[in-house]
A and B are shown apart, each in its own frame.
Chain A
Amino acid sequence: MTSTHSLEVIGVSKQFADTKVVDNISFDVAPGEIFGLIGPNGAGKTTTIRMIMDIIKPDSGQIKVLGDSLSEKTKDSIGYLPEERGLYKKLTVAQSLQYIASLKGITAQLAQERTQELLKRVDMLAHQHKKTEELSRGMSQIVQFIITIIHEPELIILDEPFANLDPVNTELLKEMIFELKSREKAIILSTHRMNEIEELCDRVFMIHKGRGVLYGELAEIKSRYRRNSVFLEYEGEFGELKGVVRRNDRYGATELILNDETTPQEILEELVKLGVTINRYEVSTPPLNDIFLQVVGKANE
């Protein structure tokens, strides 16, 4: 049976001793999307990921990968980049790649081909016979990423993949993630950096104290948490406007906070009437960071 979802998490809970680490969470991830798994430290992200990886068993609920319940076989369809990571120091780059690839169920020959292909892609073919302990930090992180995707997994879970990467390697990694997306792989990105989520993700799931607190398309969530305000770059002067509660002035720009009865459209019409030259007019959406803080703050109350 084929499923439209790469991953389905249905009502999953997990308790360690007396603490509920994950409490009845549900979400799904579709092929070809980058899915953000966000939440503060200790929220239950790692436990959730480990349950998807079948390293830890959930107490209740169900997890399906490509429509199948978790088994040793589904492990081969998942690629996982853990947050804190290392490599076998004494093995060469090629040996490390081929060993892990073989554990993911691909043949030795295919593993070798993929090793060459991927190392070439990241311009590291010259380093394939180096021991991993001789690599720079950025290089070994790229190798770890290659290990994650060498067996062509359908579901890829990346835990803080950009941590400690320089801008050049960050760009390389982003490119490769987008390539995977374009090949209809499902990618879960777990990170604290909201700018990465905003840049890369289509949908997000936010977990806080083990519970799902935010779930949906990024754009939809942003509009849901929109403060009723507009952002304006302009030339000229205008006085007080009806329906504007407050204004945050910056040089040549301002943010107008509107009251609940006023729409951005009405304000635009008013400004045009006043003869203000408008260079940019934008219904402002709050940064994901603010939403994150707002949601966590609300949940803590």
Chain B
Amino acid sequence: MNKTFLIFKHEFLNTVNRKGFIIMTLVVPLVALLAIGIYHVASGISKPPPTETEKIGYVDQLGGFDQDTSQGNITLVRYDTADEVNQALVAADIKEYFIIPPDYITSGLIDRYTMQKELYPPPELMTAINDFLLSNLLTGKVSADTAARIQAPLNLVTITLTETGDVAAEQGGFGSFVFPGIFSILLVLSIIFSSTYLLQGLGEEKENRLIEILLSSVSARQLLTGKVLGIGIAGLVQVAVWIVSAPLLLRLASSSIGGFLSTVQLPAHFLILGIVYFVLGYLLFAVISASIGAISSSSREGQQLIAIFTLPAVAPLWFISLLMIFPNNPVWIGLTIFPLTSPVAVMIRLGVTGIPAWQLLVSIAVLCLCIIGVLALTIRVFRTYLLMYGKRPKIGEVFRSLRHA
């Protein structure tokens, strides 16, 4: 049997059998399930039954505010004096009250009295009072239709067009941003775990000297390829489990966020690009991990070194709110092309805005070149430094040995 395949099989089974791997694979869907549960419970507590109406009182010192006293679930009850309305509040006939002063037209001031402690007035209450005042101010002055339009003058519907002026298949919006967001977080998780496994494995083999037996049985290229692919496929299996469990979770969440998510259309080009960047991103980090595993003296030191490279991978997620406001800032072009940040940057940008084809092509090309370059360097340092125990070569030495190799 092919030796690369034997190493692949060994590494794959070894990774899949790890306790940490099994826990991580199960924990992500469980956390999602928990989040959905908490969402359900929280929304159940915060939302009162819709049939229950609330009464709030008001005193009209200006006069003329007696129309449209029923606003949704809120009924407005008119009282003649401030004393009366205060009595009603103390007697709990009404929940709260407000007073329209005689100079309301010029000042716009409304005094609101409530027994609730709150940071900010409840929005539905604000809307109710606002609509009540507005309709009473307009009654008799404009037609009912105009009054309704003044209340809600802008029902904005945005339609994204393609370069040819046709309606684009993907209309963007928050929904289509959710998937790229989730996908890029999964990508980062998978990359970090897989490269950690690769580092740990190499560190262990270096510490127990099995690396000598391995290198005396197979070539450095076979060892590296088998390891990178074996652990990589295990990482993909993990992501696959997460993705497969998603529809199940969505069904559980169907009454709330699930309904919103199921309306999201996932365009085909996004999936294809997602897979391309997933694979390329993993490969780049895998070969970087392998070379760091070869150079570092212990697996702990290796994990510190790899952080230098995993930080940029996560970096685009830090700027995610900036992207939403300035999607076409040139910084994003840089992040899209720079190989360490590109997998995540592309995923996020795809969700928010389009990416010009040339940027995608340049970014994929740079990524591929980097993988090939780092792989070539890794195979060179691999044999030399895997056999050096207990001491880490200085950067200068590494470069010198690269020239000599």
A interface residue numbers (CB < 8 A to B): 17, 50, 53-56, 72, 75-76, 78, 80, 82, 84-90, 99-100, 102-105, 107-108, 147
Contacts and interface: CB of A to CB of B under 8 A. Distances in A.
4 tightest Cβ-Cβ pairs between the two chains A and B: A86-B208, A53-B216, A103-B217, A82-B212
Nearest to B215: A55
B212 A75 contact: no
B225 to A, nearest CB: 13
Contact of A103 (B204, B207, B218, B383): B218
B200 to A, nearest CB: 12
Contacts of B14: 90
B6 A88 contact: no
Given A72-B218, A75-B218, 16 more contacts: A17-B400, A55-B212, A55-B216, A55-B383, A72-B3, A72-B222, A75-B217, A80-B212, A80-B216, A84-B209, A87-B208, A100-B213, A102-B1, A103-B218, A107-B1, A108-B1
B144 interface: no
Contacts of A88: 204, 208, 210
Interface in B123-155: none
Interface string B10-21: 100010010000
Contact of B216 (A75, A84, A87, A90): A75
Contacts of A84: 209, 389
B383 A80 contact: no
B214 interface: yes
A154 to B, nearest CB: 14
Contact of B215 (A53, A99, A104, A108): A53
21 contacts: A17-B397, A17-B400, A53-B215, A55-B212, A55-B216, A56-B383, A72-B219, A72-B222, A75-B216, A75-B217, A76-B217, A80-B216, A82-B213, A85-B209, A86-B207, A86-B208, A90-B17, A100-B213, A100-B217, A103-B214, A103-B218
Contacts, number: 67
Contacts of A86: 207-210
B297 to A, nearest CB: 14
Nearest to A80: B216
Nearest to A147: B213
Interface in B345-388: 383-384, 387
B7 interface: yes
A55 B6 contact: no
Contacts of B10: 99
B394 to A, nearest CB: 12
B217 A50 contact: no
Contacts of A87: 208, 210
A104 B217 contact: yes
A104 B218 CA distance: 8
A50 B387 contact: yes
Given A99-B10, A103-B6, A103-B7, A54 B208 contact: no
Contacts of B214: 103
Contacts of A50: 212, 387
A36 to B, nearest CB: 20
B218 A85 contact: no
A89 B298 CA distance: 17
B216 A54 contact: yes
A108 B6 CA distance: 11
Contact of A102 (B6, B210, B212, B213): B6
Contacts of A72: 3, 218-219, 222
Contacts of A17: 397, 400
A85 B212 CA distance: 9
Nearest to B404: A17
A221 to B, nearest CB: 30
Contact of B387 (A55, A99, A108): A55
Contacts of B17: 90
A144 to B, nearest CB: 9
Contacts of B207: 86
Nearest to A15: B404
B404 to A, nearest CB: 8
Interface string B191-230: 0000000000000100111101111111100100000000
A143 to B, nearest CB: 12
A56 B386 CA distance: 11
A259 to B, nearest CB: 51
A75 to B, nearest CB: 6
A147 B208 CA distance: 14
A54 to B, nearest CB: 7
Nearest to A104: B217
Nearest to B223: A103
B365 to A, nearest CB: 33
A68 B179 CA distance: 58
A6 to B, nearest CB: 16
A84 B214 CA distance: 14
Contacts of B209: 82, 84-86
A80 B6 contact: no
A97 B210 CA distance: 12
Contacts of B208: 85-89
A66 B212 CA distance: 21
Contacts of B218: 72, 75, 103
Nearest to A83: B209
Nearest to B397: A17
A54 B400 CA distance: 22
Nearest to A81: B213
A103 B3 contact: yes
A120 B58 CA distance: 96
B385 to A, nearest CB: 12
Interface string B103-116: 00000000000000
A80 B3 CA distance: 18
A17 B398 CA distance: 11
B137 to A, nearest CB: 77
Given A50-B387, A86-B207, A103-B6, A80 B213 contact: yes
Contacts of A103: 3, 6-7, 214, 217-218
B175 to A, nearest CB: 44
A267 B208 CA distance: 57
Interface in B214-252: 214-219, 222
